Amino acid sequence: MKYLVTAAEMKRYDKNTIERTGIPGMVLMERAALAAFQAIEERFHSLPRRQKRVLIAAGCGNNGGDGVALARLLAEAGYDVEVWGIIDGPKARDKASPQWEEQIRILTHYPVNFGGKPLREEYTIIVDAIFGVGLSRDVSGIYAEAVAFCNELEGFKVALDLPSGIHSDTGAVMGCAFRADLTVTFGFVKRGLMFYPGRDYAGEVVCADVGITEQSFYGEEPGMFYYDEAVAALLPRRDPAGNKGTFGKVLLIAGSVSMAGAAVLSARAAYRSGAGMVKVLTPEENRTILQTGVSEALLGAWEDFGESVRWADVIGIGPGLGTSEEAGAVLRRAVYETDLPLLLDADALNLLAGDEEVKERLAGQAKEGRSVILTPHVGELSRLTGRTVSELKGNLPAYGTKLAQELHAVVVAKDARTFVCAERRAVCVNLAGNSGMATAGSGDVLAGVICGMMAQGMEPYDAAAVGVYLHACAGDAAARAKGERGCMALDIAEAVASSTAVCGAGSMRREAGKEDQGDGRIQR
Q: Following DSSP, what letter does each residue of 319-371 receive, concatenated?
A: TT--SSHHHHHHHHHHHHS--S-EEEETHHHHHHHT-HHHHHHHHHHHHTT--
Cβ-count burial of 292 within 10 angstroms (0-12 exposed, 13-18 middle, 19+ buried)?
exposed
DSSP one-letter code for 19:
I
- pLDDT at site 95: 78
Query: For 477-516, how does the pLDDT look when each residue is reduced to its tens digit (9 = 90+)?
Result: 999 999 999 999 999 999 999 998 655 434 333 222 333 3
Compute the half-sphere exposure of residue 129: CA atoms within 13 Å on the CB side of its CA: 31
Q: Percentage of residues in the chain with pLDDT exceeding 90?
A: 90
CB 191, CB 7: distance < 8 Å: no
Report the DSSP beta bridge partners of residue 54: 81, 125
Report how far apart the first and last C-alpha atoms of the chain are (Å, whole number).
13
Name the pTM for this structure: 0.91
Cβ-count burial of 99 within 10 angstroms (0-12 exposed, 13-18 middle, 19+ buried)?
buried
In the chain, what is the greatest distance between 2 CA atoms, to the nearest angstrom? 84
In whole angstroms, give the CA distance from residue 159 to residue 171: 14
Of 81-90, 398-407, 509-518, highest mean pLDDT: 398-407
Asked if omega into 197 is within 30° of 0 (cis), the reply is yes
**Which residue from 506, 325, 286, 498 is spatially nearest to 418, judged by alpha carbons?**
506
Identity of the residue numbered 500: T
Instruction: Report H helices in 88-246.
Output: 89-94, 98-107, 141-152, 191-194, 198-202
Regarding predicted confidence, which is higher, 222 or 96? 222
Mean pLDDT calculated for residue range 354-378: 98
| Rg over CA atoms, the chain | 26
CB 202, CB 159: distance < 8 Å: yes
Q: Is residue 454 classed as helix, strand or coil in its secondary structure? A: helix
Is the pLDDT at 518 greater than 70, yes or no? no
In whole angstroms, give the CA distance from residue 233 to residue 501: 8
Report the DSSP beta bridge partners of residue 410: 373
Regarding predicted confidence, which is higher, 522 or 515? 522
CB 83, CB 56: distance < 8 Å: yes
CB 266, CB 451: distance < 8 Å: yes
- pLDDT at site 87: 83
Mean pLDDT calculated for residue range 132-158: 95
Query: For 305-323, how does the pLDDT look when each residue is reduced to its tens digit (9 = 90+)?
Result: 999 999 999 999 999 999 9
Is the pLDDT at 226 greater than 80, yes or no? yes
Burial state string for 166-189 with b = 16 or more CB within 10 A and e = fewer than 16: bbbbbbbbbebbbbbebbbbbbbb
In whole angstroms, give the CA distance from residue 404 to residue 220: 22
Domains in the chain (CATH in brackets) are 2-221 (3.40.50.10260), 231-516 (3.40.1190.20)
DSSP one-letter code for 404:
H
Q: What is the mean pLDDT of the chain?
A: 93
